[in-house]
Amino acid sequence: MSIKESKSELFTVSGIDTVELEPGSRTGSSRKIVTAFERYIQPCLAEVLGCALFIFVGCGSVIENVNITGSIQPAVAHGLALASVIAVLGQISGGHFNPAVSVSVSICGGLDLILLGPYILSQMVGGMIGASLAKAVSSNQSYTNSIGGAFKVVGTSEDVFHATIAEIIMTFFLSLVVCMAAVNSRTRTPLAPLCVGLTVTANILAGGSVSGGCMNPARAFGPALAANYWQYHWIYWVGPLTGALLTGVLLRLILGDQKTRVVLK
């Protein structure tokens, strides 16, 4: 008896994971068995784990960088951590680890809508775990001075507009790389984890002083909850989700392959 199993592409979790039995087996006919654990539970657990590890490293790099000028250390740490968890967990969950990425991938058809809510919830839980772990291993002084890796770049209302626009642009860039490198069939590449990690690094280097370079509501929520710091927190939801929506619309209308585009096929 031969067994054929469907595999998840990076960032892509759609369709039903099944085991198909050939005619002539003991059942006497061809049938499909839905593996509910691998379809629904395992991907969410992978999102929790990957998001927790990514945000632990990200928050830790900010906490330890509090007395060092520049964004090089946080930029490199975030990029390397994200590339690593995508590479090792991407075949299980798609390797999103970011609600904004899940939204853009879902719009492009790479994630079933039924999984979008559980994915976002899993990522938020992972963010809380990662931020709590970073708090547990940090000294009280470093943690207090850095507000636990929460985003405190926006200090006045005058900075709100610039920070929001920066988050939209940076998340648009990130989600575009994700969708083009891992979801769109014409441009898909095995270097997707590296491309995504480098994009995060580049964005933080470019926009870290403007908005903090979040691009990820889960990355903002976890530290904000752990440190109870909510000032201008809405920016890190509105900006990333808007950027993700722009990417989804762009691929659906212009840049996507024939399967993705809804017009001009």
pLDDT digits (tens, 9 = 90+) for 235-246: 999 999 999 999
Nearest to 170 by CA among 215, 226, 135: 215
Closest by alpha carbon to 184, among 12, 2, 3, 26? 12
Query: How far, in Å, are 67, 130, 225 from residue 137 at the CA level?
Result: 17, 11, 17
Note the pLDDT tens digit of each residue in 134-180: 999 999 999 999 999 999 999 888 899 999 999 999 999 999 999 99
Distance (Å, rounded) from C-alpha 183 to C-alpha 190? 11
- Residue 151 gets which letter from DSSP? -
Count CA atoms within 13 Å of residue 98 on its CB side: 30
Query: How many Cα atoms are found within 13 Å in the side-chain-facing hemisphere of 91?
Result: 6
CA 122 to chain CA centroid, Å, is 11
Q: What is the pLDDT of residue 21?
A: 38
pLDDT of residue 77: 96
At 19, phi and psi to the nearest 5?
A: -120, 120
DSSP string, 72-122: HHHHHHHHHHHHHHHHHHHHHH-S--SHHHHHHHHHTTSB-HHHHHHHHHH
Least trusted range by pLDDT, from 32-41, 79-88, 101-110: 32-41
pLDDT tens digits, one per residue of 19-69 = 443 444 444 444 445 588 888 999 999 999 999 999 999 999 999 876 666
Inter-axis angle of helices 42-64 and 72-93, nearest 10 = 170
The predicted model gives 106-127 an average pLDDT of 96
C-alpha 67/C-alpha 145 separation (Å) is 9
Give the residue ranges of DSSP H helices in the chain: 36, 42-64, 72-93, 99-107, 113-137, 140-146, 160-178, 192-207, 217-227, 235-250
Give residue 67's pLDDT.
63
Q: Give me the residues paired with residue 13 across strands.
A: 111
Query: CA 45, 119, 197, 146 torsion: positive or negative?
Result: negative
The domain ranges of the chain are 37-255
d(CA 229, CA 220): 10
Quote the CA–CA distance of 129 and 133 in Å, as a whole number.
Answer: 6
Of 1.10.730.10, 1.10.1060.10, 1.20.1080.10, 3.40.630.30, the CATH number of 37-255 is 1.20.1080.10
